[in-house]
Amino acid sequence: MSSLAPPPIANTVGEVGTFEPAIASGSYCDRRSAKIAGALYLSIFALGPFVYFYVPDQLFFDDAVETAAAISNNTGLFAAGMMVETLIVAIEIVLAGLLWKLFRRGNEALAFSSSMARVGEAFIQTVNVMLAGVVLIVVDRGGLAGLEADPSAVVGPLVDVIGFGVMVWGLLFGLHLFLLGVLVQRSGRMPRWIGTALIVASAGYLAQSYGYIANPELDGALESLVVVLAIPGELAFAGYLLLRGVRPQSLDEV
């Protein structure tokens, strides 16, 4: 008499009746996503200095007339900065999705909030690009044609607003790094010290943004603080993603 018990579940890889193949497949996909995220994160390190340091140092001055003249004489550099920033925005949005995918099982609400903060940062960066477009129209494309207005009177305040926008997206990015650091510590997918380094990095961005809002004269010192506190942790995080990926989820997390 044959048994009426159903046959065991068979998998193409692993032992009969187990789900190791699905877990292994998921781990492979996660490692691939992690490496893509790491490469994208490091690309921001390659592109960011041009947009946020070189272009402002060359074109933005305390005097509005001098700033307007510098932009008018170097419209190619100014436009290049705008184009590179749009590329950074695209990378930020893709990164937000990848990081949510990698860390959502640790705490889905925290992962969602962290990624939304990064998307919010990208939105503010997009607004800054739009404002830069207005500056370009005013100084180079006849935006004030027919009006008795000095371009510098328009450019000066716009450039100041762009600078303030950088501080606003810095707040959102600081929040993103703090939540991401907590996720890394809790998830077990990366060494806990990387999570701690990201939390320290978040403190750098938050200190810079709040410090600038309170007293713009502190901008130079606060910028140095960001370099000291943020860069090591972010580089460690991106480098680990690219070179090592993430640890596989345990059975009770799947």
Domain assignment present for residue 230? The answer is yes
Q: What percent of the chain has pLDDT over 90?
A: 66
What is the pLDDT, as a whole number, of residue 250? 52
The model's pLDDT over 133-180, given as tens digits with 9 standing for 90+, comes to 999 988 886 655 444 567 778 888 999 999 999 999 999 999 999 999
The model's pLDDT over 185-218, given as tens digits with 9 standing for 90+, comes to 998 999 999 999 999 999 999 999 999 999 988 8
Domain assignment present for residue 16? The answer is no
Closest CA to 99 of 24, 34, 194: 34
Domain limits for position 60 = 47-248
Q: What is the pTM of this model?
A: 0.84
Q: Provide the token pair at 226.
A: 């960001």
Domain assignment present for residue 219? The answer is yes
The model's pLDDT over 29-53, given as tens digits with 9 standing for 90+, comes to 888 999 999 999 999 999 999 999 9
> 232: Cβ–Cβ under 8 A, 6 or more apart, which residues?
197, 201
Domain assignment present for residue 41? The answer is no
| Residue 132: band (very low, low, confident or very high) from pLDDT cuts 50, 70, 90 | very high
The model's pLDDT over 52-92, given as tens digits with 9 standing for 90+, comes to 999 999 999 989 889 988 998 999 999 999 999 999 999 99
Closest CA to 44 of 7, 88, 105: 88
Domain assignment present for residue 119? The answer is yes
Q: How far apart are CA 218 and CA 244, in angstroms?
A: 38
Split into its structural domains, the chain has a count of: 1
Domain assignment present for residue 198? The answer is yes
Domain assignment present for residue 10? The answer is no
Q: In this model, does residue 23 exceed pLDDT 60?
A: no
- Cα dihedral across residues 101, 102, 105, 110: positive or negative: negative
Q: What is the mean pLDDT of residues 101-122?
A: 95
169 to each of 20, 73, 104, 219, how far by Cα in Å?
42, 29, 23, 15
Q: What is the DSSP letter of 60?
A: -
Domain assignment present for residue 64? The answer is yes
